[in-house]
Structure 1
Amino acid sequence: MSRRRFIVLHPSDEMYGADRVLLEVLRAAPNGLDLEVWLPTDVDYPQRELSGALKEIGVRVRHLGLPIMRRAYLRPARLPGLAWRALTTGVRLLAARPALVYLNTAATALAAPAARLSGGRVVLHLHEHIDERSRAVTPFLRFPHRIIAVSAAVADVLPASLRQRTRVIYNGFDAAPPAALPSFADGIRLVIASRWNAWKGHRVLLRAWGAAHRDDLRLEILGDRPPSGEAVDVPALVAGSPRRDSITVVGPTSDVRAHLDAAHVVVVPSILPDPLPTIAIEALGAGRAVLASDTGGLREIVGDSPLLVTAGDESAWTDALDRLDAEVIRAAALTARARFERLFARDTFAARIREELWTQEIPR
């Protein structure tokens, strides 16, 4: 490439799924690149966890008024502000003339037209399942030269014209070797770890938990309310559960792995198609069974598992909890790490993303 400036747009400054993937992407970048990450200022992220992690690996960060397509902004009264942020971001991109604009998540796609006009290669990393609720983003998906989809489930719902320029690359992470499964003598311990977004299924899981007949199950809930978007009040749901004594709300934690190691099963009860949830991949890396909704990319993560449950079906989830069996859990745990190494290892991801982002020429 004749121009060597690389600009990344990302919609948040925390440390959940897509944020962690961005770190892995930038770790795969060759040394010596003129690389800058633009993060938004429209939402307050007090900890600025991603900013701190990026600076630790030597990446420059700018906080700007980016045109992030949050659902709350797609209302008539909020559209002028979104349009203004799109205009100012476009001016910055045109002035920068980067070799590559990497847009991480569909929420940044509003910047794609200006990125295309800036003259460099435009790549959109699609972490979302584009459905009827998110069709507003579809016209902007036509501007990137390449779309990276995190799963086949994400790629398969795109229009045919977009699938032709889409490559599926599974996210990959580093993970310490698995710890031994805890004893089953004190029952079966389950953990759910995600933002408390409404679509992540906490309400379904907790209602199913309250209806289950087992008295040997214990549940830990990690995470917190999202800074934007529809959320559920997890503490209130737990307080109203008939089995609240078997549930512990941990909240946010910087050591998710310690909770995975202490559990037998990781639960992912998403009610909408979950593109490729990081926590399910982490569970495989930790050598843990995954009890998950059969939706989105979850089947791609866990394979043809007896621990897949119909998404959003409370009675199916109650049955799945009542049927949990130590032998099934042991069998799933036994194969989990090998599947992780085959599909989701950091080195595999780094090689694929390096080929896609850092070795391609600018289109002519």
Structure 2
Amino acid sequence: MDRSLNNCRILMLHGSSDLYGASKMFLLSIKSLQSKGAEVIVVLSEYGPLVDELNLLQVDLHIYKLGIIRRKYFNAKGLLNRLLTIRRAKAYLSKMVSEKKIDLIYSNTSAVLVGGWVAKKMKIPHVTHLHEIIKSPNWLRKFLGKMINYTSSKVLAVSQAVKENWGDVIAVEKIELVYNGIDQSKYLQSGNQLRNELSKPTDSTILIGMVARVNQWKGQNYFLDIAKILSHEHDNLHFVIAGDAYPGTEYLVDELILALRKSGIENQITYLGYRSDVEAILSGLDIFVLPSILPDPLPTTVLEAMASAKPVIATSHGGAKEMVLDGETGFLIPWDNAKKAASILSILINNPQKRVAMGKAGRDRVLEHFSIQAYLENFSYAIYKTLVK
């Protein structure tokens, strides 16, 4: 069957300009479509690190406020702002669809609603790619789900956990599971860059770290709670936190830094801030931790850590349960019991052979089940099926 997308023009919308998980997958999605001959037009709400990567792909890039749904707008003034911004974006995108003869609109994440309304108005297919699990407020999940169900021809879910989260408000027959994949080649090399940068740790120091956006649910404070317990039980540990906050929530970083200073283990923990060299950080760690206190859909950093041959400790909910094989590639821990989580981590701290074995098993699992090749093919085929109906 010919799955070519030659002469297809696809408008792709994304709500962020960072280079975290959803944005990395956005780049891969574009590569997938381009490999099948599609012409890609991208609209972002703002400038950021993602822009340089998009320019390398030579896409037709536009910056225009799309009215992205964020929690900070959950007030009377904020909701009015979103309504007006979405209204302007709808007019802007409708004109673009008409002038550029767009065949399909793709919206990356549930926070981008305007694409669906434009597609409905212009009578063209619309695909929503869900990267998130929303537990509360439930009214928001139901509202977004109903809007997505009404405006989307197809909905892609990055994990079974995501599919189940939205399955009661989005028609099940519309939802297709497409696991994320990563380019493993960047993570296959080992190095001492991180250890050299930190300078304090000796060769015998075990480096334990997390890489994630600084927000209310990614678990930086939970990670700190676990670190404090472990520091009292082991004298050869150093902890690393990498990641910054969404624009407008920088105060969360200030709060985190203050918490680190008051932790009593300030000399044993380093906050690196935003880093583009994630592969170098992961290469330098001995153990990777994903301490999300709410379900994480399918965190890309877990795949990156596994590709780096690091054992992964992840909280036992969301997409992590589909990625980490408990007891084989790492361990699943509770999201609300730092003492128990620390005791599980101690198994790896005390057993370097197990760390190596689990890391190798994790790398093998990524290569087999979460390859970039599989994602590129599965994503483009999902778009192809939507267009040919």
Could you tell me how far 1:163 is from its partner in structure 2?
Answer: 2.3
Q: 2:300 aligns with which of 278, 297, 318?
A: 278
Q: Counterpart in 1 of 2:217?
A: 199
- Comparing 274-283 with 4-13, greater Cα deviation is found at 4-13
Could you tell me how far 1:226 is from its partner in structure 2?
Answer: 2.2
Q: Counterpart in 2 of 1:268?
A: 290
Could you tell me how far 1:54 is from its partner in structure 2?
Answer: 0.5
Q: Which amino acid aligns with 2:320?
A: L
Q: Counterpart in 2 of 1:84?
A: 84
Q: Which amino acid aligns with 2:39?
A: D
Q: 1:351 aligns with which of 366, 370, 377?
A: 377
8 Å contact from structure 2 (residues 306, 362) kept in 1: yes
8 Å contact from structure 1 (residues 270, 312) kept in 2: no
Q: 2:145 aligns with which of 131, 138, 143?
A: 138
Deviations 1:170-208 (A, max 9, x none): 111112263469899603211211111120101011022
Structure 2 CA distance for partners of 1:178 and 1:309, relative to 1, 3 Å: same
Q: 1:156 aligns with which of 164, 186, 205?
A: 164
Q: 1:166 aligns with which of 172, 175, 191?
A: 175
Q: Does 1:189 align with 2:233?
A: no
Structure 2 CA distance for partners of 1:34 and 1:92, relative to 1, 3 Å: farther
Could you tell me how far 1:52 is from its partner in structure 2?
Answer: 1.1
1:201-280 alignment, distance < 5 Å:
201-212=219-230, 213-229=233-249, 231-232=252-253, 233-280=255-302
8 Å contact from structure 1 (residues 35, 60) kept in 2: yes
Q: Quick one: distance in 1 between partners of 2:17 and 2:281?
A: 24
- Comparing 331-340 with 157-166, greater Cα deviation is found at 157-166
Q: 2:10 aligns with which of 2, 6, 13?
A: 6
Could you tell me how far 1:255 is from its partner in structure 2?
Answer: 1.1
Q: Does 1:175 align with 2:191?
A: no
Q: Which amino acid aligns with 1:24?
A: L
Structure 2 CA distance for partners of 1:180 and 1:52, relative to 1, 3 Å: closer
Deviations 1:49-92 (A, max 9, x none): 11111111111111112121111223111222211222222223
Q: 2:109 aligns with which of 105, 108, 114?
A: 105
Q: 2:333 aligns with which of 304, 309, 315?
A: 309
Q: Quick one: distance in 2 between partners of 1:34 and 1:329?
A: 45
8 Å contact from structure 2 (residues 13, 112) kept in 1: yes
Unmatched 5+ residue regions in structure 1?
A: none
Q: Quick one: distance in 1 between partners of 2:147 and 2:241?
A: 36
8 Å contact from structure 1 (residues 261, 286) kept in 2: yes
* CA RMSD, 1 decimal: 2.3
Q: Counterpart in 2 of 1:35?
A: 40
- Find the residue that maps to 2:182 and give its secondary structure: coil
Structure 2 CA distance for partners of 1:358 and 1:59, relative to 1, 3 Å: farther
Q: Quick one: distance in 2 between partners of 1:2 and 1:173?
A: 25
Unmatched 5+ residue regions in structure 2?
A: 196-201
Q: Which amino acid aligns with 2:227?
A: W
Normalised by the length of structure 1, the TM-score is: 0.91
Q: Which amino acid aligns with 1:36?
A: I
Could you tell me how far 1:328 is from its partner in structure 2?
Answer: 2.7
Q: Quick one: distance in 2 between partners of 1:18 and 1:228?
A: 19
- Find the residue that maps to 1:319 and give its secondary structure: helix
Q: Quick one: distance in 1 between partners of 2:88 and 2:388?
A: 24
Q: Quick one: distance in 2 between partners of 1:88 and 1:237?
A: 41
8 Å contact from structure 2 (residues 157, 178) kept in 1: yes
Structure 2 CA distance for partners of 1:162 and 1:303, relative to 1, 3 Å: farther
Q: Quick one: distance in 2 between partners of 1:181 and 1:268?
A: 22
Could you tell me how far 1:149 is from its partner in structure 2?
Answer: 0.4
- Comparing 268-277 with 97-106, greater Cα deviation is found at 97-106
Could you tell me how far 1:317 is from its partner in structure 2?
Answer: 2.3
Q: 2:19 aligns with which of 15, 39, 56?
A: 15
More helix by share: 2
